[in-house]
Amino acid sequence: MTREAVIEVRGLRSQFGDHVVHDDLDLDLYRGEILGVVGGSGTGKSVLLRSIVGLNKPRAGEIRVFGKDVTRLTGATREAFERRWGVMFQDGALFSSLSVRENVEVPLRAVPGLSDTDRRGLAELKVAMAGLPVSANDKFPSELSGGMRKRAGLARSLALDPEILFLDEPTAGLDPIGAAAFDRLIVELRDALNLSVFLVTHDLDTLHACCDRVAVLAEQRVLTTGTMEEMMQVDHPWVHEYFHGPRARAAISGTAESR
Ligand SMILES: Nc1ncnc2c1ncn2[C@@H]1O[C@H](COP(=O)(O)OP(=O)(O)OP(=O)(O)O)[C@@H](O)[C@H]1O
């Protein structure tokens, strides 16, 4: 059975001045999967995410989302397309002067015909789906813990019922129990909402708990993709060290214990 790619990146080149971050990079995200994107610091995981969602202009290459090259879309067509994905940035990227509910209402303001009451209700629904208590709705970002801020960012990324969810290091800075709860939430949301998930992470536990496939960025491209089992067989120094090092062994035994 052929899998449907909802994102197809082909021949991507990303560059800042003389600094080439990606060169001839190819990557697919398949419908319904959770893809973990890993790689050493500075290999361009965030730049790749930002390039796909249009925050970074590629020097060359194609980025097709649902079959359309999004690098060529402009104006209203582009905006309509952007409603089909949600992005959760590492720090939540919340507006500090708005409450959690108001933050989630921001993308909903683009939806025509919604009354204030409808918008408020929809925002509260997304806040609940992100696992926050009702009391979080009226809180400001500065009144939230790091984990709650991440959930608020997640709620906002879900505001427009996206088909693709981009998560940039969702568990960074969380304690292990909070991180494990977030991993479960990602899987539950993918299953309940039929999401395809592009997940940038350094967290081996997250890879074990959530990801159907892993893509490794190294040497300015996607070096290899595959399941966690397949990653264990890859004969490349960084990949081997990452998937067989002491932290990898701890993550594997942690997964086994939790079963
Ligand atoms: N706007 C920018 N201007 C100049 N250089 C940039 C810009 N954004 C990213 N870079 C550079 O691109 C490279 C890749 O950055 P990126 O943030 O994608 O790395 P990463 O793989 O996500 O790293 P980490 O795991 O540490 O978060 C880095 O060398 C970074 O300094």
What confidence tens digit (pLDDT) does each residue in 144-180 have? 988 899 999 999 999 999 999 999 999 988 888 889 9
Q: Give the pLDDT score at 243.
A: 85
Please provide the size of the chain in residues. Answer: 259
Is ligand 1 within 6 A of the CB of residue 158?
Answer: no
How far, in Å, is the centroid of ligand 1 from the Cα of 216?
16
Residues 108 and 115: their CA atoms lie apart, in Å, by 10
Give per-residue pLDDT as tens, 108-124: 998 889 999 999 999 99
Residues 190 and 142: their CA atoms lie apart, in Å, by 29
Q: What is the distance between the terminal CA atoms of the chain, rounded to a whole angstrom?
A: 30
How far, in Å, is the centroid of ligand 1 from the Cα of 42?
5
Average pLDDT over residues 47-63: 94
Domain ranges of the chain: 32-58+86-258
14, two tokens: 């990303």
How far, in Å, is the centroid of ligand 1 from the Cα of 20?
11
Q: Give the pLDDT score at 259.
A: 45
Closest by CA to 147, choosing from 184, 176, 173, is 173
Using the structure block, give the residue that is written with the tokens 């909402």: 193
What CATH number belongs to 32-58+86-258? 3.40.50.300
Residues 11 and 30: their CA atoms lie apart, in Å, by 18
Q: Kindly provide the ipTM of the predicted complex, given to two decimals.
A: 0.97
**Whole-structure pTM value:** 0.92
